Copies of this chain bind each other. A is one copy, B any other.
Amino acid sequence: MRIGIVGGGQLGRMLAEAGAGFDARFTFLDPGEAPCAALHGDHLRAAWDDAAARERLIAVSDVITFEFENIDAEVVARLADERPAFPPAQALATARDRWAEKTLFRDLDIPLPPVAAIDSQADLDAAVGDIGLPAVLKTRTLGYDGKGQKMLREAGDVAGAFAELGGVPMVLEGFIDFDHEVSVIAVRGRDGEVRVWPLARNEHRQGMLHCSVPQPGHPQQARAEDYARRVMERLDYVGVMAFEFFVAGDGLLANEIAPRVHNSGHWSIEGAVTSQFENHLRAIAGLPLGDTARLVPCAMLNVIGTLPERDAVLAIPGTRWHDYGKAPRPGRKIGHVTVLAADEAQLAERIAAVEALLVNELG
């Protein structure tokens, strides 16, 4: 099994780790000098749209996949002409454009917070009138982890905001009252079979995911699965897809989708019968999908910016260490820690013990 991956970050790296049992061989297309996934395969260093590198990736791959979504639709289409390539181009295109994503939710009767497309300051002024403040203005494409967005709290924040974010196409998202945020990771096989992991409850800090805790038996599980299935079927999706929802009242409001393995599913490496990474590979290779049940209470905590003292983390029972081999840098995801426990109370204690060791970037 020869797998070509567009992108060479930690998601590609963990895909390759999941492929070891299949004796799979990986090639990563990535413009970086030393992308961290290259530890586990061959690195084609080239720009995303480099035609020669694309041909080389095709030549060494039986199937091609993507570890991030900001790839030109044209490049995706060319790869898919030559090899099975998943997820499909329309899924990548939808996920990289916030307005296309919101439109898809609406078309599928999936509830979502108030939103408007913004193509000018006049659009923004009108939308603020409709939606109210606070609201958040986001570029339609290329935003992630709090980048490419601006919080609008009061009237003074609105003036000039369109120009400030670059005058590109944007969306304005209204704020809603919600209880907590969850994500659901789902996988769809080439034959249309869908499997869904338990919902994970997510906690963000400074705009970045801090902690994900799977919640088997969450009252919104069935609803989240239904929404995930609608989206994946509409997009004729193959592979793992992540969905972020706000839990509000007794319902869910869709926040965003990611057409790939996702940070909030990393707990599944140790904590599920089959991880998101292994099932993504099974899906794109046309193999039977694996069981997505949680094995024991567990959680994932991100390591951002600076590694905590490794040996102190390992000394906490039930911890598993994931160092992505990336240079430390403020705001950069460089690893994660999985915490396993015998019951929920022990899990909470262990999470607190790990959190006490994580380096707080704000000092």
Distance A325 CA – B317 CA, assembled complex (angstroms) = 34
> Interface of chain A, helix or strand or loop or mixed?
mixed
Distance A355 CA – B23 CA, assembled complex (angstroms) = 22
Could you tell me the distance in whole angstroms from the C-beta of A293 to the nearest C-beta in chain B?
Answer: 8
- A21 near B296 (CB under 8 angstroms)? no
Q: A282-B314, A295-B296, A295-B340 are in contact. Are A23 and B288 (CB under 8 A)?
A: no
Among B20, B25, B296, B311, point to the contact of A288 (Cβ < 8 A): B311
Distance A22 CA – B17 CA, assembled complex (angstroms) = 12
A290 within 8 A of partner (CB): yes
- A40 near B20 (CB under 8 angstroms)? yes
Given the complex, which residues of B lie within 8 Å of A47, measured CB to CB? none
A322 within 8 A of partner (CB): yes
Could you tell me the distance in whole angstroms from the C-beta of A103 to the nearest C-beta in chain B?
Answer: 37
Interface residues in chain A, defined as those with a beta carbon under 8 Å from any beta carbon in chain B: 13, 17, 20-23, 25, 39-40, 273-274, 278, 282, 287-288, 290-291, 293, 295-296, 310-311, 314-315, 317-325, 340, 342
Q: How many copies does the complex hold?
A: 2
Given the complex, which residues of B lie within 8 Å of A40, measured CB to CB? 20, 40
Distance A21 CA – B39 CA, assembled complex (angstroms) = 12
Among B21, B288, B295, B324, point to the contact of A315 (Cβ < 8 A): B288
- B322 near A21 (CB under 8 angstroms)? yes
Q: A17-B17, A22-B323, A323-B22 are in contact. Are A314 and B287 (CB under 8 A)?
A: yes
Among B282, B290, B320, point to the contact of A21 (Cβ < 8 A): B320
Given the complex, which residues of B lie within 8 Å of A291, measured CB to CB? 317-318, 340
- B340 near A314 (CB under 8 angstroms)? no
Please indicate which of the listed interface residues A17, A20, A40, A278 has the most CB atoms of chain B within 10 Å of its own CB.
A20
List, sorted by A's number, 27 A–B pairs whose CB atoms are closer than 8 Å: A13-B20, A17-B17, A17-B20, A20-B39, A21-B320, A21-B322, A21-B323, A22-B321, A23-B324, A25-B39, A40-B40, A273-B317, A273-B318, A274-B320, A278-B320, A282-B314, A287-B310, A287-B311, A288-B314, A288-B315, A290-B317, A290-B320, A291-B317, A291-B318, A295-B295, A295-B296, A295-B340
Could you tell me the distance in whole angstroms from the C-beta of A112 to the nearest C-beta in chain B?
Answer: 35
Distance A163 CA – B20 CA, assembled complex (angstroms) = 45
Could you tell me the distance in whole angstroms from the C-beta of A40 to the nearest C-beta in chain B?
Answer: 7
Given the complex, which residues of B lie within 8 Å of A273, measured CB to CB? 317-318, 340
Distance A323 CA – B39 CA, assembled complex (angstroms) = 20
Could you tell me the distance in whole angstroms from the C-beta of A307 to the nearest C-beta in chain B?
Answer: 10
Distance A20 CA – B13 CA, assembled complex (angstroms) = 9
- B321 near A21 (CB under 8 angstroms)? yes
Distance A17 CA – B288 CA, assembled complex (angstroms) = 23
Assuming A20-B40, A288-B314, what are 11 further A-B pairs, CB within 8 angstroms?
A17-B17, A21-B322, A22-B321, A22-B323, A273-B317, A274-B320, A287-B311, A290-B314, A290-B317, A293-B342, A296-B296
Among B25, B290, B323, B340, point to the contact of A23 (Cβ < 8 A): B323
